[in-house]
Amino acid sequence: MRTAARAPHRLSWFLLALFTCLFVGTAFARITTVNGIQTTHHDGQTFVTWDNLAGTNWTYHVFRSSHYMGGQSDLEDADEVGTVGDSSAVDRRISNLLGTLLTFRTDSAAVPLSPARGLFCATVSDGGLFYYAVIAESLNTGTFMTFKPDQNSTSQPKLEQGNRPKPVFQRKLTTPVHGDDYVLFTSDRDLPNFPAMCNLPSKAFHLGVIRGLPGSALILNGHGRGGSYFNSLGGTGVPGEWVMSIDDYLSTSDAADFYFGYHQDYDWATLWNPTAPPYTIVADYSDQRVQYLIDWATNSWTHDRNRVYAMGSSMGGTFAFFLAWHHPEKIAGALAFIPKLCFGYTSNDPAPWLRDSFNRMWGTVDEDLPTTNGTTTYQWMDGRSQAETFANRGSAPMVGFVGRNDDVVGWGEKVAYFNALEQNHSGGTWFWDQRGHYDSQYTATWSPMQNWKQLYKFRLDQSYPAFSNCSADFSAGNGDPAVGDSVGTINGFADWDSLVVDTQTRWSVTLRSRALNTRYQSFAKPASMTVDVSPRRLQQFLVGNRSTYVWTVRRASDQMLLQLGTTQPDDQNVLTVPGVVIGAGDVTLTLTPLTIAGVAPSTAHGMHLAISRQPVRGSAQVRVDWPAAGEGRLDLYDVAGRHARTLFSGSAHGTATHTLSANGLQPGVYLMRARQGGEQKTQRVVILN
C-alpha cells in the first residue's frame, strides 16, 4: 500500500474555534469509521466528499482503484492518491481573508459544501471506472479507523475521463472587491494535461476574475508579498477589459513564492522552514499554475489573444517582469513597479530577512539548486541571467519604475540588470527616482509617466524596436544610491510608432524622441540623440546568421536620406542597427537583406539560412539562399541527430522560402540543415506547441 501521509491542514485559531463550537462533538472515539462517502466527476477531476469524524487531529487517506474495494486486502492494490486533514471542505484562505467561515464548491453550479464534510480532489489522467475509499487516521493515537465496505468505500464505480481540469467558480465577490472568485484544485503529481502545481495533493488556489467584453484585452495583475488576489483585482482602467488576479500564497512565514515555486520538501504546515537542503529540487509549481491559467483563459474566454498584459507592484511587479522574460510568447507587454529583478544579486542585500525567505524556499545562491524546468534557481530568477540566456529571443516589451532608496528589493540589482539589458540589446524602458519601497507610487517623482494604459502599445502579433545605448540616458551610477543621477531613465526619451512594417524582406519603423514629465519638472525631448535599435518579436522578417543587411534612416516628412549602413547579426543572431540618429522630427528606419539590395547570394556570401521567428509556435517561414543551380535539401533533425522532417528536396537556385510547421513535432530543440553540393548551413530551431 502506498503511503504519503502529510501533516493536516489547520484553520486559523478564530475559524477553528468557530468550527469546533458549531460542528464537532467531544466523544470522537464513538465513531470508528468514515460515513457518507460520495464522488462526483467533471473536467478530469473527481471530488470525493464524506462526513468528518468528530474531534480534531484526523488525517484522511484517500484511495482509488479500478476494482471494488471490499476488504482491507483490496487496499494493497489500490493507489493512495493523497491525504487531507480536518475540515477539508472549509476554504481556509478566503475564510481568513474575509473573517467568516466559507466552504468550497466542487462544481460551479453546485452549492457550497457543509463545513462538516471532508473533501479531496483527485486529478486523473486515465479514463475508466474507478472506486474510492477514505480511511481515517487518528494523530492522537496513531491508529487507523475501521475499514467497512460500502461505508467508507464506494459501492459503485465512477466513470472518469482524463480531460483538462478547469477552475471552479466559487462565489461573487462584493467586498472588499468586485469580481468572480474561482478556485483551481491542483495536484502534486505531474500528469500529461496537468503538471504538478503544489507538493500537496488536492490543494486549492484562488484567482479573481473580472469578465470583460469580447475582443478586449486581458490584464494579468500580480499582488504584493503578504497580500492577496483581492489587492490586484483591477485593470488599467480601459473599459471592457478582462482581468485575472492570481493568488500567490504560502501558509508559512514566507507568505508567498514570487509566483515561482519552492523546493519539493517544503513543509506547508511548518511556520519557519529551514534552509532548503542541498539535495532537493526546486519545483516551478506556481509558474506552472500561472501558465495553465493563462492557457485556460485563452481557450475559454473571448478576449483579444494578442493583447494579454502583465502588471503589478512589488512582488506583483516581479510577476510581470519574469512573465515578460519567461513566457514572451504569451505576454504582449509588461509594466512593473518596484519589482525584485535579480534574486541572485547578493551585494549589500538591503533586507536580510527577505534573503532568508529565499533560502528557505529555493536554497542559497551559492548552491543554486536545480529546478524542474531544467535550469537552476538563480539562473531562472535573475534578470541578468535571463538577458544573457535568452539574448536571441529577448523578452516581451516592458516598462518599469524603481526606487534608489528601496530598502526591500534594493537598488544595486537594478543597475546590474540595466548593464545586462544594454549588453544584450534587450530593450525596455526604465525610470528611477528617490522613492522607497513603501512610498506611494502616486506621489513619486515619475508619477506623471506611470500610466497603466501605455501597455496597449504592445501586441503579440507585432514586432517592436528594442532600444539600447541611448545617448540621452541618465546615469544610473554603480549601484551605490549616492552615485549617479537621483532621477533618471533608460530609453525613456526614445519612442516609436506602433505601425511596424514586418515582411520577409523588409522591416521598417518610425522613430521619434519624446518629452518626459515629472511632478516637479519637465524634460524636453532631445534636439538630437543616438540609439541602437534591435528588431524584436519578429513576425515575418528573416534574420540569417552572418547575412548582411542594409539599413537606412530617412526623415519621415520628406523621405530625405539621413543615414545609410550595413549590419550583421551578432553571435546570438540578434540584428542591431547602431547609432540611429533621432532629431526633432520623426525618422523612418528600414532594414532589408543585402541580397534584396542587388547583390546575388552566389556572389555575396554563399549559402544562407534564415527563419522568421524563434521560438516557432504554429509555423514559421524559412529562407534559403542557394549558392548555385543544382539539387538541394532542407531537413530538420532532433538534437540526437535523428531525422525529423524534410522541408524541401529538389532543384534549387537563388532565394527560396519554405514553411516550417510545428504540427506533429514534439516541443524542443532541433537543428535545421540546408545542403547543396559540398556546401551546407545549419541553424538551431526551438519548437513550442
Q: pLDDT digit string (tens) for 522-553? A: 999 999 999 999 999 999 999 988 899 999 99
To the nearest 10 degrees (0 to 180), the angle between helices 315-326 and 285-300 is 70
State how far the Cα of 565 lies from the Cα of 550, in Å rounded to an integer. Answer: 6
State how far the Cα of 611 lies from the Cα of 623, in Å rounded to an integer. Answer: 6
Cell numbers at 312, concatenated: 503589478
pLDDT tens, position by position, 463-486: 999 999 999 999 999 999 999 999
CB atoms under 10 Å from CB of 689, counted, come to 12
Cell numbers 464524506 correspond to 50
The CA distances from residue 32 to 39, 52, 71, in Å, are: 21, 11, 16
State how far the Cα of 529 lies from the Cα of 472, in Å rounded to an integer. Answer: 6
Instruction: Decide if 636 contacts 670 (C-beta within 8 A).
Output: yes
The pLDDT of residue 596 is 57
Instruction: Decide if 508 contacts 556 (C-beta within 8 A).
Output: no
Instruction: Decide if 474 contacts 485 (C-beta within 8 A).
Output: yes
Q: What single DSSP character describes residue 194?
A: B
State how far the Cα of 547 lies from the Cα of 419, in Å rounded to an integer. Answer: 27
Cell numbers at 510, concatenated: 518610425
Q: Is 360 left (phi over 0), alpha (psi -120 to 50) or beta?
A: alpha
The pLDDT of residue 32 is 65
123's enclosing H/E stretch is strand 117-123
Q: Which of 300, 309, 334, 296 lies closest to 214, judged by CA?
A: 300
Determine if the peptide bond prior to 615 is cis (ω within 30°): yes
The CA distances from residue 450 to 38, 426, 430, 587, in Å, are: 52, 21, 11, 26
Cell numbers 551605490 correspond to 480
Give CATH 2.60.40.2550 domain extents, the chain.
Answer: 605-688
State how far the Cα of 263 lies from the Cα of 285, in Å rounded to an integer. Answer: 9
State how far the Cα of 46 lies from the Cα of 66, in Å rounded to an integer. Answer: 14
State how far the Cα of 593 lies from the Cα of 595, in Å rounded to an integer. Answer: 5
Give CATH 2.60.40.10 domain extents, the chain.
Answer: 13-160
Q: Which of 266, 121, 118 lies closest to 203, judged by CA?
A: 121
- The architecture of the domain spanning 13-160 is Sandwich (2.60)
Instruction: Decide if 211 contacts 185 (C-beta within 8 A).
Output: no
Determine if the peptide bond prior to 176 is cis (ω within 30°): yes
Cell numbers 515629472 correspond to 518
Provide the 3-class DSSP secondary structure of residue 144.
strand
State how far the Cα of 182 lies from the Cα of 282, in Å rounded to an integer. Answer: 27
Question: What is the fold, at CATH topology level, of the domain defined by 605-688?
Answer: Immunoglobulin-like (2.60.40)
Half-sphere exposure of 63 (CA within 13 A, CB side): 27
Instruction: Decide if 254 contacts 232 (C-beta within 8 A).
Output: no
Q: Which of 293, 267, 305, 5 lies closest to 142, judged by CA?
A: 5
State how far the Cα of 233 lies from the Cα of 257, in Å rounded to an integer. Answer: 19
Cell numbers at 609, concatenated: 539560412
Q: What single DSSP character describes residue 301?
A: -
Q: Which of 411, 394, 302 lies closest to 613, judged by CA?
A: 394
State how far the Cα of 207 lies from the Cα of 177, in Å rounded to an integer. Answer: 13
418's enclosing H/E stretch is helix 412-423
Tell me how far apart the terminal alpha carbons of the chain are, to the nearest angstrom. Answer: 38
Cell numbers 532548503 correspond to 276
The pLDDT of residue 624 is 86
The pLDDT of residue 502 is 96
State how far the Cα of 165 lies from the Cα of 290, in Å rounded to an integer. Answer: 14
Q: What single DSSP character describes residue 530?
A: E
Instruction: Decide if 406 contacts 452 (C-beta within 8 A).
Output: no
Compute φ and ψ for 378, nearest 5 degrees.
-90, 5
The CA distances from residue 99 to 15, 102, 111, 406, 626, in Å, are: 8, 9, 20, 33, 71
As a whole number of angstroms, the longest Cα–Cα distance in the chain is: 93
Q: Which of 624, 681, 631 lies closest to 657, judged by CA?
A: 624
Instruction: Decide if 120 contacts 88 (C-beta within 8 A).
Output: yes
The two beta strands, 179-185 and 168-173, are antiparallel
State how far the Cα of 183 lies from the Cα of 167, in Å rounded to an integer. Answer: 5
The answer to whether the Cα torsion of 258, 259, 264, 266 is positive or negative is: positive
- In sequence order, the 6+-apart residues with CB closer than 8 A to the CB of 357 are 253, 254, 255
State how far the Cα of 426 lies from the Cα of 393, in Å rounded to an integer. Answer: 9
Provide the 3-class DSSP secondary structure of residue 95.
helix
Q: What single DSSP character describes residue 231?
A: G
Instruction: Decide if 580 contacts 555 (C-beta within 8 A).
Output: no
State how far the Cα of 26 lies from the Cα of 76, in Å rounded to an integer. Answer: 33
Q: What angle do CA 93, 95, 98 make, to 5 degrees?
A: 110
The pLDDT of residue 666 is 84
State how far the Cα of 667 lies from the Cα of 646, in Å rounded to an integer. Answer: 17
Find the radius of gyration of the CA atoms of the chain.
28
The total number of residues shown for the chain amounts to 689
Q: Secondary structure of 341-394 in the HEC alphabet? A: CECCCCCCCCCHHHHHHHHHHHCCCCCCCEECCCCEHHHHCEHHHHHHHCCCCC
Task: Point out the residues of the chain with pLDDT beneath 70.
Answer: 1-32, 596-606, 689
